[in-house]
């Protein structure tokens, strides 16, 4: 029996019908492990050791409410066999501070998934630049003129902030270039913030596909998040429809290339975003899609995650 701590947003905010962190908790509890939760804002240092205010919970996702608190107290993170970092984006200064605290916990022997140093090093947007063979034409810049030049070259582009989530702040600029200056100035706060611009991929009509890597291995189904009428964003938070599909040959190729590399860096759970045959993002903070894939295909993603987690902890 393992003691597993999930560092996440408040339990009351979970959307129980589709929350991936809840799916993980439920799988762990059903397997007989002890499940603990801590709000991300309770991490602290005490006598050079890292603590959090934790509550042990029993979990039953079929019930309402889906959790019952058994007890709660301040815990040293060394009390746990594994700490699962599932704090939602955006990657703020407070998120960064939590990764620093978790790095200290790692130095004291705590197993943290995903590794805090890997979370710091992997911008969910910029990290795709490491794999140019798999991405659409892309630039990152604060300059209106550079982004206008990129548009002139590619004609149809998407512009987005580096710290957005759920499709927030994503704009398409078509061949007419209408409002590009205003979009860049507004999103970039007149040159204060870097933006990413990518060539528009018409394959978005078939979905922005989420491919989950767990311990370097691909879940055998992607979740194609298909934009609905009047929108270019497939994100479920932006109204996209999630449809599970078997991996394509290209998606399998990308997973086989990136999986071992990211695993070696301490990224235990990764969500690759793929449009057509192009990698568009590498999500590492709290990748989702567990529930939708499980319900539509019968492949139990949370059970697969737990088996890999148990093996990883056993092998340490």
Q: Above 80 in pLDDT, residue 240?
A: no
- 113-128 confidence digits (pLDDT tens): 999 999 999 999 999 9
Task: Considering the candidates 124, 251, 281, 292, report the single residue annotated as catalytic.
Answer: 281
d(CA 294, CA 124): 24
34 is catalytic: no
pLDDT value at residue 166: 64
Summarised one tens digit per residue, pLDDT across range 186-212 is 998 888 999 999 999 999 988 999 999
CA gap 73, 226 in Å, rounded:
43
pLDDT for the residue numbered 163: 82
Q: Is residue 210 annotated as part of the catalytic site, yes or no?
A: yes
The predicted pLDDT at position 284 comes to: 95
- As given in the structure block, the two tokens for residue 27 are 């799988």
* Active-site entry in 111, 199, 209, 225: 225
Place 232 in a pLDDT band, splitting at 50, 70 and 90.
low
Answer whether residue 36 shows pLDDT above 90. Answer: yes
86 is catalytic: no
Q: Average pLDDT for residues 36-51, to the nearest whole number? A: 95
Query: Average of pLDDT values for 81-104?
Result: 91
Identify the pLDDT of residue 63: 84
Nearest by Cα to 105 from 132, 72, 87, 83: 83
Active site residue: 210, 251, 292, 303, which one?
A: 210
The whole-model pTM stands at 0.91
Task: Enumerate residues 6+ apart whose C-beta is below 8 A from 303.
Answer: 27
Q: 44 pLDDT band (50/70/90 cuts)?
A: very high
Pairing of strands 208-214, 269-275: antiparallel
Catalytic, out of 61, 125, 209, 303: 125
Q: What percentage of the chain exceeds 90 in pLDDT? A: 80
Is 90 exceeded by the pLDDT of residue 234?
A: no
Domains and CATH numbers, the chain: 3-118 (3.40.50.20), 137-200 (3.30.1490.20), 203-315 (3.30.470.20)
Name the phi and psi angles at 159, rounded to 5.
-120, 135
Could you tell me what percent of the chain has a pLDDT over 70?
95
DSSP 225-277: EEPPTT-----GGGTPEEEEEEPPHHHHHHHHHHHHHHHHTT--EEEEEEETT
pLDDT value at residue 235: 53
Q: Say if strands 217-218 and 195-199 run parallel, antiparallel, or are unpaired.
A: unpaired
Considering the candidates 124, 208, 251, 273, report the single residue annotated as catalytic: 273
Q: Let me know if 111 is a catalytic residue.
A: no
Q: Give the C-alpha distances (Å, rounded to integers) separating 251 from 210, 290, 292, 297.
A: 10, 18, 19, 18
Which pLDDT does position 92 carry in this prediction?
82
pLDDT at 302: 97
Which residue in 124, 283, 292, 303 is the catalytic one?
Answer: 283
Catalytic annotation present for 273: yes
Average pLDDT over the chain, rounded to an integer: 92
Per-position DSSP letters for the chain, written without gaps between them: --EEEEEES-GGG--TTT-HHHHHHHHHHHTT-EEEEEEGGG-EEETTEEEEEEEEEEE-TTSSS-EEEEEEEEEEGGG-SEEEE-PPSP--HHHHHHHHHHHHHHHTT--EES-HHHHHH--TTGGGGG-GGGS-SEEEES-HHHHHHHHHHHSSEEEEETT--TTTT-EEE-TT-TTHHHHHHHHTTTTTS-EEEEE--GGGGG-EEEEEEETTEE-SEEEEEEPPTT-----GGGTPEEEEEEPPHHHHHHHHHHHHHHHHTT--EEEEEEETTEEEEEE-SS---HHHHHHHH---HHHHHHHHHHHHHHH-
Instruction: Indicate whether 238 pLDDT > 70.
Output: no
Cα angle at 221 between 225 and 113, to 5 degrees?
A: 90
- Residue holding tokens 């982004």? 147
- Which residue among 160, 199, 209, 303 is the active-site one? 160
Q: Which of 61, 199, 209, 233 is catalytic?
A: 233
What CA–CA distance (Å, rounded) separates 291 from 72?
28
């Amino acid at each position: 029996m393992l003691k597993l701590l999930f560092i996440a947003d408040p339990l009351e905010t979970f959307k129980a019908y589709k929350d991936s962190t809840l799916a993980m908790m439920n799988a762990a509890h059903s397997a007989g492990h002890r499940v603990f939760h801590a709000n991300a804002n309770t991490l602290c240092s005490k006598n050079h050791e890292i603590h959090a205010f934790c509550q042990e919970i029993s979990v039953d996702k079929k019930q309402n409410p889906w959790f019952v608190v058994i007890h709660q107290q301040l815990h040293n993170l060394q009390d746990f066999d594994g700490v699962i970092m599932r704090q939602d984006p955006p990657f703020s200064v407070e998120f960064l501070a939590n990764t620093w605290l978790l790095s200290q916990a790692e130095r004291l022997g705590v197993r943290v998934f995903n590794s805090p140093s890997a979370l710091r090093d992997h911008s969910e947007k910029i990290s795709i630049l490491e794999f140019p063979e798999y991405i659409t034409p892309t630039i990152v810049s604060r300059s209106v003129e550079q982004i206008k030049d990129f548009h002139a070259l590619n004609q149809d582009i998407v512009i987005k902030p580096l710290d957005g989530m759920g499709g927030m702040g994503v704009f398409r600029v078509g061949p007419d270039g209408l409002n590009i200056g205003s979009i860049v100035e507004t999103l970039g706060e007149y040159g204060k913030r870097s933006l990413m611009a990518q060539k528009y991929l018409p394959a978005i009509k078939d979905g922005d596909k989420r491919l989950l890597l767990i311990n370097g291995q691909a879940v055998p189904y992607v979740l194609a998040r298909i934009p609905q009428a009047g929108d270019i964003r497939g994100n479920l938070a932006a109204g996209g429809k999630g449809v599970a599909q078997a991996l394509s040959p290209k998606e399998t190729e990308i997973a086989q290339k990136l999986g071992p590399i990211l695993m070696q860096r301490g990224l235990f759970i990764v969500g690759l975003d793929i449009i057509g045959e192009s990698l568009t993002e590498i999500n590492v903070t709290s990748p989702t899609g567990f529930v939708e894939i499980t319900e539509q295909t019968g492949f139990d993603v949370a059970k697969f995650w737990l088996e890999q987690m148990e093996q990883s902890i056993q092998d340490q």
